[in-house]
Amino acid sequence: MLGRGTLRSFTSLTYAWFALWFLAPTGIMLIYAFGHTASVTQAGLVNLNHLGFSNFFQALRYPTGPVLMISLENAVLATALCGVIAYPVAYFIARKLGPRTRVIVLLLVVLPFWTDYLLRMLGWRIFLSPLGLLYGALHAIGWHVTYISILDTRAAVMIGLVYNYVPLFILPLAVVLERIDPLLLQAADDLGAKPWTIFRTVTFPISMAGVVAGTVLVFVPMLGDYVTPTLMGGARGLMIGSLIASEFNEGQNWSLGAAMAILLIVILVAIVVACWLLSVGVRSAILRTRRRAIERDLAAT
């Protein structure tokens, strides 16, 4: 797409920038994973005298496994919910609104996130607290519950996660949906396709790039999030991010925390790459079957 020279210079610039401000610092942290935590009476964070994999083995022991499973379940479910909620909203914004209203509605989606994050979670807690606003509202309409017990449960964690990440799915999806050439849709309509078929064969496949972007933007950071699940789910909001954070914060065990972080990053990258390969494989399989069908039709004539 870009000229080769331009592409090369852009790529070098990008690598240089991220190498300086991300790869270097994070790399140092991750090297700690191979060292040993300094004792509480030693200066420095990590003892790098004998490097080894002991932290990784320790990271894999209980409770990492079960907590990781729960975290993955939560993240997959929450991401799917975000996607399901985001698609109609993104479609509406991108294709059903004029340019000016589009900007306004997009702003509306982002606006609530300009209040402080902690306070928004607090707002949820006040709303969902056992004798809080939801309790009051339900009583006002005649539904007399003893007390609301949504808070500090897995359901509350889901509410918090979906709430915080939905805009991250809506925006990239809307951006891609907006780009779809109406002429393509016009052509399909002229050829006699029904509206749902047009969506299924034209709009949705083209929007996949947006769905992928949205999924990555939501699922990846969500898995490492520990503040949201803790604030909403209390002790039941334990996700893998909390374990890692507690090694850094409470345990002062930087090596172990770094090792767990590496494992998390590797798992996430593996999942993303696997999905990408899968989608490429699926796409080429579909194309192959369609081409064979067309060839068969042509041979029959």
Partner 1 sequence: MDNTHNDETLRILAPKGHPLTRRKFISMAAAVGAGVLTVGTSAADAANATSAMETAAKNSLKTAGKPTKNLYLYTWGQYDNPTTFTAWQKGTGIAIQIGSYDSNEAMIAKLELAKGTAGYDIVVPTGGYIPEMAAKGLLLPLTKSLIPNFKNLDPALLNFPWDRGNKYTIPKDFGTTGFIYDKTIITRKMETWQDFVTAAALPQVSGRVSILDDPNDVLAIALWNEGVDWNTLDKAKLHTANNWLIKNLAPHVSNLDSYPGGTGGLSSGTYVLSQAWNGDARQALLKDPTKFEWVVPFPKSEIWVDNWALAKGAKNVDTAHAFFDYILDPTVSANEMIYTGYNTAVADVRSYLPKNLAQESVIFLTKAQEKRLVAYLVNSTNNLRTQLYDDFKAAIAS
Partner 2 sequence: MKTTGANKWLLGFITTVVVLFLFLPLVVVVVFSFNGGSDAFLWGGLSTAAYGQATQDTTLITALRISIEVAVATGLISMLVGLIAGLASTGRGWAHRLLFILFVVILATPEIVGASGSLLWFVTLGVSNGFARLIIAHSIFGSALTALIVRGRASGLEPAVFEAANDLGARTLTMLRTIAVPLLAPALIAGGLLSFTFSLEDLVTSVFVSTAQTTPLPVFILASFHSQFHTDIFAIAVLVFVSTTVMFLVALLAMGGGSRQRMRRGLRLLGATTSEPE
Q: Which residues bind partner 1 (CB under 8 A)?
A: 37, 39-45, 62-63, 66-67, 70, 129-132, 147, 149, 151-152, 234-238, 242-243, 246-253, 256
DSSP-derived secondary structure letter, 254: H
Answer for which of 52, 139, 181, 279 binds partner 2 (CB under 8 A) is 181
Among residues 35, 83, 167, 237, the one that binds partner 2 under rule CB under 8 A? 167
Query: Closest distance between partner 1 and the C-beta of residue 186, in Å?
Result: 53
Torsion of CA 34, 39, 43, 44, to 10 degrees: 20
Contacting partner 2 (CB under 8 A), which of 47, 76, 80, 189? 189
Comparing CB distances to partner 1, the nearer of 150 and 206 is 150
User: Which of partner 1, partner 2, none does residue 57 bind (CB under 5 to 8 Å by kind)?
Assistant: none
Q: Which residues, 6+ apart, have CB-to-CB distance to 40 below 8 Å?
A: 252
**What is the footprint of partner 2 within residues 222-241 (CB under 8 A)?**
223-224, 226-227, 241
116 is a contact residue toward partner 2 (CB under 8 A):
yes
275 near partner 2 (CB under 8 A):
no
Work out whether 53 is an interface residue with partner 2 (CB under 8 A).
no
- Does residue 205 bind partner 2 (CB under 8 A)? no
Alpha-carbon distance of 198 to 202, in angstroms, equals 5
* Cα–Cα distance list, 237 to 25, 29, 70, 218, 265 (Å): 29, 26, 10, 18, 21
Q: Which is nearer to partner 2, 287 or 293 (CB)?
A: 287
User: Residue 264 is encoded by which pair of tokens?
Assistant: 């998390």
Using alpha carbons only, give the angle 114, 115, 121 rounded to the nearest 5 degrees: 125
Which of partner 2, partner 1, none binds 80 (CB below 5-8 Å, type-dependent)?
Answer: none
**Does position 263 bind partner 2 by CB under 8 A?**
no
Q: Is residue 185 close enough to count as binding partner 2 by CB under 8 A?
A: yes
Nearer to partner 1, 95 or 125 (CB): 125
Q: Tell me the backbone φ, ψ of residue 153, rounded to 5 degrees.
A: -130, 175
* Inter-CA distances, 65 with 71, 125, 212, 236, Å: 10, 29, 27, 16
Q: Which of 47, 220, 236, 252 binds partner 2 (CB under 8 A)?
A: 220
Which C-beta is closer to partner 2: that of 123 or that of 153? Answer: 123
Task: Please choose which of partner 2, partner 1, none residue 204 contacts, taking the beta carbon within 5 to 8 angstroms, the exact cut-off set by kind.
Answer: none
Residue 158 has a CB neighbour count (10 Å cut-off) of 17
Q: Which position has the token pair 């809506």?
A: 170
How many other CB atoms sit within 10 Å of the CB of residue 269? Answer: 11
Q: Is 188 in the site for partner 2 (CB under 8 A)?
A: yes
Contact between 175 and partner 2 by CB under 8 A: the answer reads: yes
Positive or negative CA dihedral for 172, 177, 178, 181? positive
Choosing among partner 2, partner 1, none, which partner's interface includes residue 83 (Cβ < 5 to 8 Å by kind)? none
Tell whether residue 9 is a contact of partner 2 (CB under 8 A). yes
Residue 69's CB: how many other CB atoms inside 10 A?
11
What is the chain's length?
A: 301
